[in-house]
């Protein structure tokens, strides 16, 4: 990674935490925010080294610009950051919905803009609640388009790794459908449940006051940041609608089973859920990784690293580290990937399937 500043546009909880996480590193962190109080606190807690007066000023000399702003503002901010920054600067964001944003940019803009989404958060918002370890161990999705420049993807991958997160390349539409299912739909479900309980008082007894710890668990996510969630739901509405309609169909099946007092069906439903839930628990209990290196011969053209990284990301093969050694302009360079040794053979196979020569090193 080069040594120019990192510009953070929006120093709230996420932007501020990123600044804190980068503050031990060698690179200057420049921050900008429309709220002067946020800038003051960010400087005071050491989340940024320097405040810029505008996005353009912050982006001017930066090697990387990170847009940590509300989702509806991202497309316009991305365009401004690309226009204001040099040809060697990568621009990324932290938004929870990716397809619409990438679609709002043109092919040229997607050479230097690579979408990002760290999967983490906190119950409180604002830079005062920023923590340097917010991203530690988190999955940080990257959604490089086919036009993404290999060197800039490499730099962004390194930036994500430097704050302790796991960079996982993923197709933007796949990302949005996944998040709709495992995050956005759950927020909708929790919200509808807590609203229904709040509105119901059978026999004069408030339902909400009769709820126990499992109801509290189930609805915990319903309490956070309404404006942000309204933005996310609108930005990812197509994928959320798809997930919601499929879900409504599942509830209709439960309804039919209840109408017919069909215990056998309900038992199958609960057993299927228990099995899936068990798999989820098992997945969280993976053993320690033994790192291995996979070396791939790659032509010097945009989209190649994105393609390889995304193929591995979709196969849940984690790229711990990624280094690019460019070759001659019309020859082959080397892409060196560090992965879990148990997955190295599968990584070689997947990359080979896409027509690239790969070997375990």
Tell which positions 6-25 bind its own copies, by CB under 8 A: none
Q: Which is nearer to its own copies, 178 or 332 (CB)?
A: 178
Tell the smallest beta-carbon distance from residue 252 to its own copies (Å). 7
Q: How many chain residues touch its own copies (CB under 8 A)?
A: 95
Q: Which of residues 253-282 bind its own copies (CB under 8 A)?
A: 254-255, 258-259, 261, 263, 266-267, 269-281
For position 119 contacting its own copies by CB under 8 A, the verdict is yes
For position 315 contacting its own copies by CB under 8 A, the verdict is yes
* Residue 210: count of CB within 10 angstroms of its CB: 11
For position 227 contacting its own copies by CB under 8 A, the verdict is yes
Q: Which of residues 171-200 bind its own copies (CB under 8 A)?
A: 171, 173-174, 177-178, 181-183, 185-198, 200
For position 301 contacting its own copies by CB under 8 A, the verdict is no
Q: Which is nearer to its own copies, 23 or 211 (CB)?
A: 211
**Tokens 């056998």 belong to residue:** 264
For position 111 contacting its own copies by CB under 8 A, the verdict is no
**What's the CA gap between 21 and 243, in Å, rounded?**
34
Q: Which is nearer to its own copies, 62 or 167 (CB)?
A: 167
Q: Which residue from 207, 289, 297, 332 is in contact with its own copies, where contact means CB under 8 A?
A: 207
Helices (H), the chain: 13-22, 36-44, 55-60, 74-84, 99-104, 109-112, 150-162, 172-179, 185-199, 213-219, 226-235, 237-259, 263-283, 304-314, 344-353
Tell the smallest beta-carbon distance from residue 20 to its own copies (Å). 21
Q: Which is nearer to its own copies, 241 or 345 (CB)?
A: 241
Tell the smallest beta-carbon distance from residue 253 to its own copies (Å). 8
β-bridge partners, 332? 299
User: Site map for its own copies, 21-50, x if CB under 8 A?
Assistant: ------------------------------
CA angle 142, 143, 144 (to 5 degrees): 105
- Write the DSSP assignment of 251-316 as a string of letters: HHHHHHHHHTT-HHHHHHHHHHHHHHHHHHHHHTT-----EEEEEEEEESSTTHHHHHHHHHHHTT
C-alpha of 22 from chain center: 18
**What's the CA gap between 239 and 243, in Å, rounded?**
6
Instruction: Count Cβ atoms within 10 A of the Cβ of residue 119 and give its class: 0-12 exposed, 13-18 middle, 19 or more buried.
Output: middle
For position 231 contacting its own copies by CB under 8 A, the verdict is yes
For position 146 contacting its own copies by CB under 8 A, the verdict is no
CA neighbor of 118 nearest in space, from 98, 147, 145, 90: 98
Structure tokens that stand for 195 in this block: 């609203």
For position 205 contacting its own copies by CB under 8 A, the verdict is yes
For position 223 contacting its own copies by CB under 8 A, the verdict is yes
């Amino acid at each position: 990674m080069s040594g120019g500043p990192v510009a953070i546009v929006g120093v709230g909880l996420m932007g501020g935490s990123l600044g804190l996480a980068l503050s031990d590193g060698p690179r200057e962190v420049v921050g900008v925010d429309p709220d002067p109080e946020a800038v003051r606190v960010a400087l005071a807690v050491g989340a940024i080294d320097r405040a810029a007066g505008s996005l353009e000023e912050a982006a001017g000399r930066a090697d990387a610009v990170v847009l940590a702003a509300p989702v509806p503002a991202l497309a316009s901010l991305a365009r401004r950051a690309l226009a204001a920054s040099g040809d060697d600067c990568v621009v990324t964001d932290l938004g929870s919905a990716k397809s619409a944003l990438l679609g709002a940019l043109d092919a040229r803009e997607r050479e230097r803009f690579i979408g990002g989404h760290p999967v983490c958060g906190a119950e409180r918002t604002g830079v005062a609640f920023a923590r340097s370890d917010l991203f530690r161990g988190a999955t940080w999705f990257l959604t490089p388009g086919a036009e993404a420049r290999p060197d800039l993807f490499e730099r962004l991958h390194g930036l994500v790794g430097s704050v302790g997160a796991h960079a996982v390349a993923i197709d933007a539409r796949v990302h949005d459908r996944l998040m709709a299912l495992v995050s956005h739909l759950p927020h909708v479900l929790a919200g509808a449940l807590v609203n229904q309980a709040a509105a119901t008082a059978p026999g004069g007894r408030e339902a909400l006051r009769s709820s126990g710890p499992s109801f509290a668990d189930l609805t915990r996510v319903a309490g956070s940041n309404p404006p942000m969630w309204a933005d996310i739901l609108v930005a990812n509405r197509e994928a959320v609608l798809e997930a919601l309609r499929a879900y409504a169909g599942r509830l209709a099946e439960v309804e039919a089973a209840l109408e017919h007092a069909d215990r056998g069906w309900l038992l199958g439903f609960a057993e299927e859920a228990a099995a899936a839930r068990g798999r989820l628990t098992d997945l969280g209990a993976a053993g320690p990784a033994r790192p291995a290196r996979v070396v791939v011969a790659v032509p010097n053209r945009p989209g190649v690293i994105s393609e390889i990284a995304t193929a591995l990301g979709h196969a849940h093969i984690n790229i711990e580290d990624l280094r690019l050694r460019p070759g001659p302009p019309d020859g082959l360079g080397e892409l060196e990937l560090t992965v879990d040794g148990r997955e190295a053979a599968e990584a070689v196979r997947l990359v080979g399937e896409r027509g690239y020569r790969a070997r375990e090193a």
